């Protein structure tokens, strides 16, 4: 049974993102949809002494109209040395972590390489983190499939083209997914659960909604142990 997930690329995502990837056979980077401002596409959080801090990658748009910017077309603004600030912030807050070097080796690609788009940066980081966490799911881009339609119809078109048996979605999609279309196309639908054990962190009380680099810096090779949700995914539509 082939399970497929489709999500936009995020910058140094949290551990739930990688648990999602590990739960599917094929992970599709949704790169040919509209870029959303003030979202996870170009930013994420690290844990600091007084809570959390955003690390944001400055971007510039291909079109003056937001609707004209697909994620794959949004360029990184290198007129600002944002990567130096990100690396410095990471060092200042994680240098005492037991596996700081492991996380820093992954993260340092932002200063050692120049990426044309936010999508290419994100995917490079995602794949490097997958390798570290020993996640072997296949990864492709939605743009390779030239999907047609809008909303749920578009997802069904993608899923049909890759011969999916089950679609894994985030639970927030319940507000807009047309479940009848999944039934009509005999594709199962599941919602991902995000229910995790805490792990040892620096800087006080546990905070879970930060970059997965926090997990790697603190747990190193044991990170995979904390990647599995305690609750099973929710089955919404069953395949015949």
- Asked whether the predicted pLDDT for residue 240 surpasses 90, the reply is no
pLDDT band at 67 (very low <50, low <70, confident <90, very high): low
pLDDT band at 81 (very low <50, low <70, confident <90, very high): very high
Q: Which of 233, 143, 138 is nearest to 188 (CA)?
A: 233
Q: Which DSSP category does 233 fall into?
A: P
Q: Where are the beta strands (DSSP E) in 97-186?
A: 138-141, 166-169
pLDDT on residue 19: 98
Strands 75-76 and 59-60: antiparallel
Domain segments of the chain as ranges: 3-237
For the chain, what is the mean pLDDT? Answer: 95
Q: Which of 47, 73, 30 is nearest to 213 (CA)?
A: 47
Q: Which DSSP category does 144 fall into?
A: G
pLDDT on residue 150: 86
Residue 168 backbone dihedrals phi, psi, to 5 degrees: -95, 125
- Does an H or E element contain 87, and which? helix 82-94
pLDDT on residue 65: 58
Choice among 53-62, 88-97, 106-115, 215-224 with the minimum mean pLDDT: 53-62
CA distance 22 to 13: 14
Q: Where are the beta strands (DSSP E) in the chain?
A: 3-7, 26-29, 43-48, 51-56, 59-60, 75-76, 138-141, 166-169, 188-191, 234-237
**Contacts of residue 119, Cβ cutoff 8 Å, sequence gap at least 6:** 9, 29, 31, 71, 72, 74
Q: Which DSSP category does 73 fall into?
A: G
CA distance 215 to 193: 19
């Amino acid at each position: 049974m082939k399970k497929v997930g489709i999500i936009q690329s995020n910058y140094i995502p949290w551990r739930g993102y990688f648990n999602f990837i590990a739960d599917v056979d094929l992970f599709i980077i949704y790169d040919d949809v509209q870029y959303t401002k003030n979202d996870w596409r170009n930013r994420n959080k690290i844990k600091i002494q007084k809570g959390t801090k955003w690390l944001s990658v400055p971007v510039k748009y291909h079109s003056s109209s937001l609707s004209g910017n697909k994620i794959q077309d949004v360029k990184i603004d290198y007129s600002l040395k944002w990567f130096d600030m990100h690396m410095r912030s990471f060092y200042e807050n994680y240098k005492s972590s037991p596996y700081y070097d492991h996380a820093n080796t992954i993260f340092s690609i932002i200063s050692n390489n120049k990426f044309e788009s936010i999508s290419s940066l994100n995917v490079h980081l995602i794949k490097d983190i997958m390798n570290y966490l020993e996640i072997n799911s296949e990864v492709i881009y939605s743009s390779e499939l030239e999907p047609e339609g809008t909303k749920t119809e578009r997802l069904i078109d993608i899923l049909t083209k890759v011969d999916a048996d089950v679609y894994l979605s985030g639970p927030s999609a319940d507000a807009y997914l047309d479940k009848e279309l999944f039934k009509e196309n005999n594709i199962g639908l599941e919602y991902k659960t995000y229910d995790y054990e805490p792990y040892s962190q620096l800087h006080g009380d546990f905070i879970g909604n930060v970059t997965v680099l926090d997990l790697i810096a603190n747990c190193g090779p044991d990170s995979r142990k904390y990647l599995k949700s305690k609750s099973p995914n929710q089955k919404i539509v069953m395949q015949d």
